[in-house]
Each structure stands twice: as structure tokens, then as C-alpha cells.
Amino acid sequence: MKTLRLLAISAIILLAAGAASPAHATDLLKPNGLSFEAGKIQEKDGRSDLFFASLIPQFSIGGLTAVINVNYIADREFKIRDAGRDFIVVDSVQYKHNDKFKFYYGEIKNLTFGSGFIVSNYRSDIRGNVPLNRQRGIELDLKSDDSYIKAFGTRSDLFGVRGVRTLGAFRLGATAISDADPDFEEIGIDIETNFKREWVKFYAESAKIIDYGDGVALGVVASPVKKFSAKAELRDFSSDFVPSIVDEHYEAGSPFLKLTNTGRTYGLYTSMDFFPGGEYSLGLTHESYEDHQPRTTIKARGKITPRLSGDIFYAQENFVPKNGWIKPKNSVARGILTFKLNNKADLILDYYRAYDDSLNKQDSLTFKTRIKLF
């Protein structure tokens, strides 16, 4: 293990040093960007505070971009914490070719398949803000004129694939996901069609969790203008089925632990998106089921002032029985505030809150400075 670490350290040093090498040095060893981060992580669930320093080189080769984190993380006594702390983290790897092929490795955020009846706003980074390889995953996109395939997989053995084929005014889709812990498989099929110059879309979806229950969804999406869309979806599912099973809470706790229905359940899922994909964006969802407490999620990003920007996400506790109550401490949240000191330096405040299968709160707060060396 020590030998592997030494080899990895040597490789990173060579890559970083490439920037200062003569012109005849191998281009593959020359980063096109290098940043340094240092700060403190306050872990509020009984664990000791951590101090860290990270060297972050970035490399670009053709259409491929890679970012590496080399981390030193220690406690108050400056003892390196090995357990659950990765010295070298592959932060992200991206490749894109003419919108027909996309590859991404890194933290997965806001991943949705189709209408979201199976995979909805999934995030792999909800369990902490310490750099960890296990919070990364892969996304793969293949697209042609009439079809596309989207697949993803995480280090925690969660996998999913979706295929869509356009046939005239209709689009046919199929989705499959699986996980090792909790151990389950789910499949679904859906159909959608467009009217009124494609600003109104109707769809229907049916899904089945193997060896568990099933559910159906009927919905409509309206996008009267490019910068706004709204959705309303009727849902009907059996007592042992979980709608949007892979959602914002998935990495915080097993969804099967909250199955409390006594029969088929009916409900309504609604959402609104303002300026989706833009520099400023806001997304809101609301779910209401006859056997559950209603819940809301919020995600937003944008500039607060010319120098201050924010990226926040909040989702209330899910699958709470009608006779229970939503506990704010069991909701999941992630918020990042960035203050730009100048073109080279930023101050960053990073907060997260989640909970484990025993409903124990887990949260931490990170203060750090990021300096762009070149």
C-alpha cells in the first residue's frame, strides 16, 4: 500500500511539475490548471474537527478533461486520518464528442430518468463534504437522431440504464436499475407524446420492483416559454412499491425501511423549474400522498451579489406516515456559498446535513480558501 501511495505521489508531482518544464517536455504531463485549497471541516456528529490542504491539478487532452485532488487531512494533533479519508481522489473526468457521446466521472448531481418515477434528482454527494472516491460515479450518454441511451453507475454498486426511441409523435422509453445494498432490481416502461408545437407533453409510465410491488404514473408537462416548465403527475402504487426510489435521500438511508402503507396509495407529484440549466436556476417539487405527509424539495443556484454566489439543495424527510410528522433534522440539505476575493482566490462555505438508517443526524461545515495558481 505504501509503495502504491509513493508511486501515486510521484505521478502527481511529475504532472504538476510539467507546468514549469521546458517546452520540449511531454505535453501529457503538463496541467493546464493548478489550484490549492486549505481549510477546516467541523463535523457536528461527535467526530473531531479536521484540517486539510489539497493540491488540485487539471489536465486537458483533446476533448478529455481530468481533475485530481491530492489531499492531506489531519485532526487537531495533525495526525493523518486514514479511515474514510482518501489521499488521492479522482475528482472528475469528462469527455464529449459532438453531442453524440458524453462520458462523465465524478459526483453525480440532480440525475433524473424520464419523468422521475424511478430515478429523480439523485445525488451521490449527500453523505459528506470530505473528498472521497466512493462518492463518485459514472454517467454515459449516447445519442442519435431518433434515440438515446443514458447509463450510470456508482462506487456503491448502484446501476441504472435508460433507452428512448422516437417513433413519429411518440417516444417509447425503458428503464432498469439495480443495487446490491439494499438488494433490489426495478424495471419500467413509458410512453410520451407532444402537442401544441411540443410545449405540452403527456406521458404514462409503469414500473415494477422485482419481488416487491408496482406502480403507475400519468402526467403532463407544460413549457410555454423556454425558461419555465411545470409538471403535474398522478401516481398509483402498491404498499410495497417506492415511487422515485432513487431520489435525493437514497444515499442517506434505505427507502425500504419506510414502507408503511397498508394498501394501494394514490397521490400527486408536482414540480416547477425556472431557468433550467442557466446561470441562475430554481426548482421546486411537492408530493402529496393519502398515506404520507406531503413534502417539498428546493434547489437553486446563482449570484447573490457580484462577488457572492450560492448553490443550495434541500429535501424534506420522505415517506413519513400520515400520523407522523416531518422532522427538520432528518431532511437532507447541501449548501455552498462562494465569495470571490479576486480573479485568483475564493472563500468557500460548504454545509451538508443528512441522516443514516437509524435516523442519526450527520452534518458538517467546511471553511476553505481556494487559490488558483495558474
Q: Tell the residue number behind the cell numbers 475564493, with chain if given.
A: 346
Nearest residue to 335 via CA among 48, 125, 112: 125
DSSP state of 26: -
Interatomic CA distance for residues 177 and 143, integer angstroms: 20
pLDDT of residue 261: 61
pLDDT of residue 204: 97
pTM above 0.75, yes or no: yes
Kind and range of the H or E run holding 369: strand 361-372
pLDDT of residue 3: 38
The amino acid present at 58, given as its one-letter code, is Q
173 CB burial (10 A radius; 0-12, 13-18, 19+): buried
Paired strand residues for 69? 89
pLDDT digits (tens, 9 = 90+) for 125-157: 877 677 788 889 999 999 998 999 999 999 888
* pLDDT mean for each 10 residues of the chain (374 residues): 41 44 52 91 75 92 89 77 70 89 93 94 80 88 94 92 93 95 94 81 96 94 91 94 91 76 85 88 93 90 94 88 76 93 94 74 87 92
Residue 321: other Cβ atoms inside 10 A: 12
Interatomic CA distance for residues 261 and 238, integer angstroms: 8
pLDDT of residue 25: 43
pLDDT of residue 31: 82
pLDDT of residue 16: 44
Paired strand residues for 48? none
Interatomic CA distance for residues 188 and 190, integer angstroms: 7
pLDDT of residue 13: 43
pLDDT of residue 140: 95
pLDDT of residue 356: 65
CATH topology of domain 31-372: Porin (2.40.160)
